């Protein structure tokens, strides 16, 4: 949510930002907010004038009563009653106007950073840098689900019977590899100075709308029937929500947290070969990182954070690239965002394994998260980034470490988490 001062002082800037995001249908919202805001301030002026009159008249009542001018005092009391009724009416009007403003402000997108490339959809995202040489071996790499099943590491058929499409059982050494990756990502982030946290896996609706836009919420979130609770789609939601309506001391910034959680997503519309395995699932696990910091520091943290994901994957022998999200692919709350994509030697292309976002003060405004500084309070900036999300991260490790005999090498950084195991071999060999 942007600062309403932007609309008061430079609504054309807000409109231009909307146009760059190819959301012209939202342009009328800016003028509506502008007009509602004028009415709010006019109403406030009337209220203030009435309250000043009321205070003046209230002071006169005492003098009249002292002089035993009861009738005159009663007349003024009646005037004050009428004023109170009018003040209450104006307050009700203000509440309605502010509600209409907030409804629209929640939909108006955040102001993008000037460096964001302009484009209508993700086909306009820009590759910035590659890390590691993408290799295609001279032997065939099977589909990841077939590799894992050959290693007795997955059972989707049983999961289909217990839970439906989009769920899975991981078993044996593959399940162990999955957990080793998460444990390594956790320890990596702790060594970078982030505090480890396990958050609640369900959150209230007002937290959901505080951290993401409504269309995203409807497309992603599972709601608990009969409860004001949603299953989290990422631990960022509950991690940022932790600070809702809090005033944070300036000396406590930056707050750097890394969190583990399961994640639950609807993932509607999944189909095709790449979707039958572990690419699009309703339940997965994730090591996340968030930062709450001073506004002027947020871009520096943004550039640090996505590089951590790059290093995690490179340490697991996976080539990756950074892809900058264009304006049309940028979620409404975000100032700037990029994806980290892993190389798939089977598909001979990259696929998304992580996303890093600077949200400016949008989440802080929605959730009421402030900093207490020397000159009063102000909104801080929030950022989030995927350290490691599985099973997509698992797919990347399995494919890039697959050997011709059907085995999978275990990256050296993960071997201590697997009891020193170096290779996962097919059980029939």
Overall average pLDDT of the 134-150 stretch: 95
At residue 262, the pLDDT reads 95
Percent of the chain with pLDDT strictly greater than 70: 97
CA distances from 327 to 83, 122, 248, 386, 401 (A): 51, 9, 32, 20, 35
What's the CA gap between 362 and 358, in Å, rounded? 10
Overall average pLDDT of the 230-258 stretch: 96
Residues with Cβ within 8 Å of 171's Cβ and at least 6 positions away in sequence, in order, are 152, 153, 154, 155
**With contact defined as beta carbons under 8 Å apart, do 320 and 131 qualify?**
yes
Among candidate residues 387, 189, 384, 212, the one with its CA nearest the CA of residue 298: 384
Helical axes 392-400 vs 172-191, angle rounded to 10°: 110
At residue 273, the pLDDT reads 43
* CB-count exposure of residue 252 (10 Å: 0-12, 13-18, 19+): exposed
At residue 374, the pLDDT reads 86
H/E element holding 355? Answer: strand 349-358
**With contact defined as beta carbons under 8 Å apart, do 286 and 265 qualify?**
no
Bridge partner list, 196: 258
Strands ordered across the beta sheet of 202-203: 202-203, 230-231, 222-223
Overall average pLDDT of the 135-157 stretch: 94
What's the CA gap between 16 and 226, in Å, rounded? 42
At residue 216, the pLDDT reads 73
Task: Look up tokens 């502010």; give the residue.
Answer: 98
Overall average pLDDT of the 127-137 stretch: 96
User: Which tokens is 133 given?
Assistant: 């040489």
Overall average pLDDT of the 31-40 stretch: 97
Extended beta strands in 15-170, E state: 126-131, 154-155, 169-170
What's the CA gap between 258 and 246, in Å, rounded? 20
What's the CA gap between 211 and 401, in Å, rounded? 37
Residue 270 has pLDDT above 60, yes or no: no
209-229 residue pLDDT tens: 899 876 777 778 899 999 999
Overall average pLDDT of the 4-33 stretch: 97
Cα 46 versus chain centre, distance: 40
At residue 400, the pLDDT reads 98
340-377 residue pLDDT tens: 999 999 999 999 999 999 999 999 999 999 999 888 99
At residue 62, the pLDDT reads 72
Overall average pLDDT of the 403-416 stretch: 97
**With contact defined as beta carbons under 8 Å apart, do 388 and 404 qualify?**
no
Diameter of the chain measured on Cα atoms: 109
**Radius of gyration of the chain from its Cα atoms, rounded to whole angstroms:** 28
390-408 residue pLDDT tens: 989 999 999 999 999 999 9
What's the CA gap between 149 and 170, in Å, rounded? 9
Q: Which of 69-83, 115-129, 139-153, 355-369 has the lowest mean pLDDT?
A: 69-83
Q: Which pTM does this prediction carry?
A: 0.89
Residue 118 has pLDDT above 60, yes or no: yes
DSSP secondary structure of 300-349: HHHHHHHHHHHHHHHHTT--EEEEE--GGGS-TT-SEEEEEEEEETTTTE
**With contact defined as beta carbons under 8 Å apart, do 261 and 288 qualify?**
yes
At residue 271, the pLDDT reads 46
Task: Look up tokens 């085995």; give the residue.
Answer: 407
Among candidate residues 82, 102, 83, the one with its CA nearest the CA of residue 94: 102
What's the CA gap between 285 and 192, in Å, rounded? 21
What's the CA gap between 259 and 290, in Å, rounded? 8
Overall average pLDDT of the 72-97 stretch: 90
Within 10 Å of residue 78's Cβ, how many Cβ atoms? 9
Residue 287 has pLDDT above 80, yes or no: yes
With vertex at residue 293, the alpha carbon angle to CA 288 and CA 299, rounded to the nearest 5 degrees, is 80
Residue 191 has pLDDT above 70, yes or no: yes
At residue 268, the pLDDT reads 58
Residue 402 is classified by DSSP as B
Where do the domains of the chain lie, and which CATH numbers do they carry? 4-105 (1.10.287.40), 122-424 (3.30.930.10)
Length of the chain: 429
Residue 269 has pLDDT above 60, yes or no: no
């Amino acid at each position: 949510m942007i600062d309403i001062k932007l609309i008061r002082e430079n609504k054309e800037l807000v409109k231009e930002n909307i146009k760059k995001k190819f959301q012209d249908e939202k342009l009328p919202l800016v003028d509506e907010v502008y007009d509602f805001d004028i009415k709010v301030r006019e109403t406030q002026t009337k209220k203030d004038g009435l309250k000043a009159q009321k205070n003046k008249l209230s002071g006169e009542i005492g003098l009249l009563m002292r002089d035993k001018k009861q009738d005159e005092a009663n007349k003024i009391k009646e005037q004050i009653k009428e004023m109170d009724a009018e003040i209450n009416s104006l307050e009700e009007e203000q509440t309605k106007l502010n509600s209409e403003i907030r409804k629209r402000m929640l939909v108006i997108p955040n102001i993008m950073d000037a460096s964001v490339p302009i484009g209508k959809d993700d086909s306009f995202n820009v590759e910035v840098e590659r890390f590691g040489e993408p290799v295609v071996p001279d032997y065939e790499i099977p589909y990841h689900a077939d590799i894992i099943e050959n290693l007795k590491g997955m059972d989707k058929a049983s999961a289909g019977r217990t839970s439906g499409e989009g769920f899975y059982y991981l078993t044996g050494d593959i399940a162990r590899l999955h957990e080793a990756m998460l444990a390594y990502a956790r320890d990596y982030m702790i060594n970078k100075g982030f505090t480890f946290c396990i958050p609640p896996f369900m959150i209230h609706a007002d937290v959901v709308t505080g951290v993401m836009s409504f269309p995203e919420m409807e497309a992603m979130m599972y709601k608990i029937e009969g409860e004001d609770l949603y299953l989290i789609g990422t631990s960022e939601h509950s991690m940022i929500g932790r600070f809702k309506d809090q005033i944070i001391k300036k000396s406590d910034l930056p707050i750097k947290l890394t969190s583990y959680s399961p994640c639950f997503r609807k993932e509607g519309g999944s189909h095709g070969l790449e979707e039958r395995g572990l690419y699009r699932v309703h339940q997965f696990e994730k090591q996340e990182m968030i930062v709450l910091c001073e506004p002027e520091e947020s871009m520096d943290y943004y550039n640090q954070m996505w590089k951590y994901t790059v290093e995690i994957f490179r340490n697991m022998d996976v080539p990756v690239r950074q892809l900058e999200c264009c304006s049309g692919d940028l979620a409404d709350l975000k100032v700037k965002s990029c994806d980290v994509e892993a190389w798939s030697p089977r598909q001979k292309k990259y696929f998304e394994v992580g996303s890093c976002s600077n949200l400016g003060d949008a989440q802080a405004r929605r959730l009421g998260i402030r900093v207490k500084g020397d000159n009063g309070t102000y909104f801080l900036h929030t950022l989030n980034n995927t350290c490691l999300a599985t099973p997509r991260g698992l797919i990347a490790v399995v494919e890039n470490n697959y050997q011709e005999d059907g085995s999978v090498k275990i990256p050296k950084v993960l071997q201590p988490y697997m009891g020193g195991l170096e290779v996962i071999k097919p059980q029939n060999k």
